[in-house]
Structure 1
């Protein structure tokens, strides 16, 4: 018996988008568009009436905008929401607000809706997690610790000259949680590869810089790696590190993801050998698992986010299954573990 179709509600005030999106979505036979809505109020009514698995939600609409509709949909239904966002700096800022309010992910309209099926699939996984997790203030799951090599013990300090972080779906919220736990005086630089398009990574860096103690910037080619600074790899490009600086280059076919966690991790391994602290956060797929596993075999130390606290348990799962994770921790413990690992 084939699995049930994934039900999608399309919300957009543009007749053009309402005509283009449904056939684009249904080009993958796993998905069925069960309806369309023309504004935020219509979106709420149809979400409650049709019970879709996923809602694609425009931001700028009459009657009720996407942000206000999002609040209602998240509070009154179990549907996952993917925002349709304008690819502008202002649009990026509003989209990050939507992610904070409960949207699972976003799709920039101007990019031809690439990877829409991957994002819809991630949203479905996030919906399953949301349904499984009771909203009752239950205590987070206890930390799961994997067997360790003799080089260190769980909770101990790690020999690291750089920390690299990989994240995707659910990553902006996870990064906020982790970085907010870190002190201003970090003893090493931290470089983050978050799957995001251009403009959005700049807005993310600014948002984190405004709300967290460490200095957070969007990485630029030729920047000196400086302890105490967190660098967000720019969207649409590939970011690498040398022993002293950051290299940002156009993708040359290295990866589907731009930025790629694997590309960043490979460069860290080449530049710093075993003196790397790796952190793998929520996200769909397996980007980063291969190179993090190589770091682990070399003697570096990797922390993975646990399944219970992930929006999508894909990238951390892949790392654990590859045997490359030294610790598996709930999200709310990862920032503190980075601090103890780095001795700060």
Structure 2
């Protein structure tokens, strides 16, 4: 049975083009279209699609408000189409917080250099988010700064702004993705927290980072698959919501405790220097790499500099980026955690490390920050 899709855009040309691409996949079927947010809400109620593709800027009701209402009344995975501009990034992040599952650039040439690849990627994204039929409402978080009595207030500045071949045993399929929580703090000492994610990551990162105290004792590196136009806005958004400092990473910076460094879109973020004076290096993406930024690249560099003094977390996302970097970290003695299947938007990246036997625990998103604080704070 094919996956039912609703296409929403105020441009009849774009509705037709997206419909043609979706219908060209034998696993997908467009069951309806809508020209604005109000029509989309009604069509979702009437047609019960399994996925909605949604434009942001539309007359009568925009895509953000439509997503918010759909999630309130008839939750369904939504794929947003966005312009690759700073304002487009801000709107897209707002749509993701409202409940959208993922996004793609609206111009197909911005998705991939090759037209056929761009088409295949759109079809793949629709199939991927359709596999998660549960409501995303439970994993969303209100965009407000958390309060805590356990930390001191910190004034924050305005921002301007090849792997190991050794393979552990593969876990039985029945164990992969099941919740497995750390029973207690391990007592291990860390020098770095590293988090990698993709689809569903912006909301997951916000959920976790907003719960960390201002005096968090480690530097944090964040690798989120995201276009270059989006990472400055995403970093600034997180910084405005979190007690820790969050910024888009720049080359030459010395890693500092209580600060999270977001890998710039379209680039690779590596850690150089020494474990006592670690610094960031930002390089061009590299044509041979599928992901820019790549979790594998950053995790691998962390293994080289920090050895086993790393806690690495792999969150929701398509594909297997992070598995080989996590394998390198594990070989050095680092601890690897994964997000559990039920709380992921797409259970790809966490599944890759869990199935390979690399991750020690599979933790629900709503428990991740609590577990991190228990493990790291003394």
* TM-score in terms of structure 2 length: 0.81
Structure 1 residues not aligned, in runs of 5+: 134-140, 147-152
| CA distance, structure 2, for counterparts of residue 200 and residue 329 of structure 1 | 28
Distance (whole Å) between structure 2 residues aligned to residue 118 and residue 263 of structure 1: 24
**Who is 1:137 aligned against?**
none
Alignment of 1:142-153 (within 5 A): 144-145=180-181
Equivalent of 1:87 in 66, 84, 98: 84
Structure 2 residue 249 is matched with structure 1 residue 249: no
Structure 2 distance, partners of 1:219, 1:125, is 33
Matched, 1:117 2:128: no
From 4, 11, 17, give the equivalent of 2:14.
17
Query: Could you tell me how far apart the structure 1 residues matched to 2:372 and 2:102 are?
Result: 26
Q: Is the 8 A contact 2:178 2:341 kept in 1?
A: no
Give the deviation of 1:143 after TM superposition. 5.2
Partners of 2:97 and 2:301 in 1: CA distance:
31
Compute the TM-score of the two structures, normalised by the length of structure 1: 0.89
Aligned match of 2:358: 324
Partner of 1:269: 303
1:1-344 alignment, distance < 5 Å: 4-112=1-109, 113=111, 114=118, 115-127=121-133, 129-130=134-135, 144-145=180-181, 154-243=184-273, 244-344=278-378
For the Cα contact (< 8 Å) 1:293–1:323, is it kept in 2? no
Give the deviation of 1:145 after TM superposition. Answer: 4.1
Q: Secondary structure at the match of 1:334?
A: helix
Give the deviation of 1:322 after TM superposition: 0.9
| Alpha-carbon contact 1:157-1:340 (below 8 Å) kept | no
Answer whether contact 2:76 2:135 (CA < 8 A) is retained. no
CA–CA distance in structure 2, aligned partners of residues 318 and 106 of structure 1: 22
1:142/1:15 CA distance change after superposition, 3 Å: closer
Question: 1 CA distance for matches of 2:288 and 2:270?
Answer: 12
Q: Decide whether the 8 Å contact of 1:202 with 1:218 is kept in 2.
A: yes
Which string of whole-angstrom CA distances, capped at 9 and with x for unpartnered residues, describes residues 114-141 of structure 1? 32123212211222x339x9xxxxxxx9
| 1:49-72 deviation digits (Å, cap 9, x = unpaired) | 222111111111112111221122
Contact 1:183 1:214 survives alignment (8 Å) = yes
Alpha-carbon distance in structure 2 between the residues aligned to 1:143 and 1:38: 41
- For structure 2, the residue ranges without an aligned partner over 5 or more in a row are 112-117, 139-176
Q: Give a deviation string over 1:6-32, Cα, whole Å, max 9, x none.
A: 111111111221222122223332212
Q: Give the total of aligned pairs.
A: 328
Please tell me whether the aligned partners of residues 10 and 33 of structure 1 are also in contact (alpha carbons under 8 angstroms).
Answer: yes
1:337 offset after TM fit, Å?
Answer: 2.3
Deviation at 1:268, TM superposition (A): 0.9
